């Protein structure tokens, strides 16, 4: 606990400063704000240029910033940008499809992440729902990703498997001769409300966007695309907007703890309210292998 008190009068100044031996990192930002709002306060306490307290105050926020930058640099190469396209029909033949991306209309965008070195991509089912239900061959899916050298490449993606009940899907891109970086899969077991988490995705088409927040709640229930309920969802205040769907929610160690899926919005506003949800990674780990091997979830096979 940190207690800072100031009583200033024309005759005397009395300052009480009580800190533990080691200041918890979560208090550093607030402590800095309290100290430097008053020049009298800061000059009275930190009279020495080499004060250990001053060095600690400067060093800790810088370490936190460097850690966050490193976290993004290590995890963002595993995140992909998914673009849904609808091909145009030939002007003289309504049954002829023009297989030209330049004539394609962008139906929507989303996010995903590289699951393994074989080119499997995990995303939300609702991100590729039109492709999954396309009966006339008009829908296409393009995935933008980076290789191990940091070079951006675009690949056509095919659906491997879907599970609308959990709003999950697996895509496959041909990465022959391309080295990619799969995500580091964590666990959602043992998550605590208040711990830091980070979302990486492509909100409104802005690629590789990082937002930060905390785990706001656990065990939430959100609707699935097929009308069922997804139980055990993670609630977070890390901003999730249109285009973030399918991207990873990661912890402070860079491990994926969830798949960003939904945000609560006020009707008509279209804006995130700070109440956002992710499918827990433990659910994903149980589901994805069946989608890769069988194309459907375990429960739908029987």
Tens digits of residue pLDDT in 121-180 = 999 999 999 999 988 888 999 999 999 888 999 999 999 999 999 999 999 999 998 999
* Contacts with 191 (C-beta within 8 Å, 6 or more apart), sequence order: 215, 218, 234, 257, 280
Radius of gyration of the chain (CA): 24
* 167 is a catalytic site residue: yes
* Lowest-pLDDT choice from 5-19, 73-87, 212-226, 254-268: 5-19
**pLDDT for position 152:** 93
Q: Average pLDDT, whole number, for the chain?
A: 80
Q: Beta strand pairing status for 184-185 and 255-263?
A: parallel
Catalytic residue chosen out of the listed positions 84, 163, 167, 237: 167
> Rounded distance, CA 247 to CA 266, Å?
23
Statement: residue 32 has pLDDT above 80: no
Three-state SS at 293: helix
Give percent of the chain above pLDDT 90: 60
* Lowest-pLDDT choice from 57-61, 131-135, 280-284: 57-61
**pLDDT for position 114:** 97
Statement: residue 21 has pLDDT above 90: no
Torsion angles phi and psi, residue 247, rounded to 5? -80, 170
What ranges make up the beta strands (E) of the chain? Answer: 3-8, 13-18, 79-86, 105-114, 120-123, 139-146, 152-163, 168-173, 184-185, 196-201, 209-223, 229-236, 248-250, 255-263, 276-280
* 245 is a catalytic site residue: yes
**Residue 21 corresponds to which tokens in the numbers above?**
């031996």
Could you tell me the pTM of the whole model? 0.75
Catalytic residue chosen out of the listed positions 84, 120, 126, 216: 126
**pLDDT for position 57:** 56
* Contacts with 218 (C-beta within 8 Å, 6 or more apart), sequence order: 191, 193, 232, 234, 235
**Residue 133 corresponds to which tokens in the numbers above?**
């239900």
**pLDDT for position 92:** 43
pLDDT level of residue 64 (50, 70, 90 thresholds): confident
Catalytic residue chosen out of the listed positions 111, 245, 272, 297: 245
How far lies 136's CA from each of 85, 133, 142, 163, in Å?
A: 14, 9, 18, 22
Q: Please, are residues 173 and 122 in contact by the beta-carbon 8 Å criterion?
A: no
């Amino acid at each position: 606990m940190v207690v800072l008190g100031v009583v200033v009068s024309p005759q005397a100044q009395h300052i009480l400063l009580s800190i533990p031996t080691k200041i918890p990192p979560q208090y550093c930002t607030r402590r800095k704000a309290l100290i430097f709002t008053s020049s009298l306060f800061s000059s009275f306490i930190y009279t020495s240029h080499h004060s250990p307290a001053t060095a600690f105050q400067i060093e800790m926020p810088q370490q936190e910033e460097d850690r966050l930058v490193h976290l993004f640099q290590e995890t963002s190469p595993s995140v992909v940008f998914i673009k849904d396209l609808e091909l145009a029909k030939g002007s003289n033949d309504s049954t002829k499809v023009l297989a030209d991306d330049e004539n394609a209309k962008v139906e929507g965008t989303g996010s995903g992440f590289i699951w393994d070195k074989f080119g499997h991509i995990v995303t939300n089912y609702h991100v590729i729902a039109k492709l999954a239900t396309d009966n006339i061959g008009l829908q296409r899916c393009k995935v933008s990703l980076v290789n191990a050298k940091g070079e951006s490449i675009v690949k056509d993606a095919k659906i491997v498997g879907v599970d609308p009940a959990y709003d999950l899907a697996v895509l496959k891109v041909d990465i022959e001769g391309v080295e990619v970086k799969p995500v580091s899969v964590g666990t959602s077991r043992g998550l605590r409300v208040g711990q830091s988490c980070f979302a990486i995705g492509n909100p409104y088409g802005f690629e590789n966007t990082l937002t930060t927040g905390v785990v706001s709640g656990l065990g939430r229930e959100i609707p699935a695309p097929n009308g069922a309920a997804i139980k055990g969802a993670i609630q977070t205040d890390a901003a999730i907007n249109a285009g973030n769907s399918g991207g990873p929610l990661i912890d402070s160690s860079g491990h994926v703890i969830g798949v960003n899926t939904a945000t609560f919005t006020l009707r008509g506003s279209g804006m995130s309210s700070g109440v956002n949800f992710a499918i827990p990674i433990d659910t994903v780990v149980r589901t994805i292998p069946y989608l890769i091997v069988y194309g459907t979830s375990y429960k739908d096979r029987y």
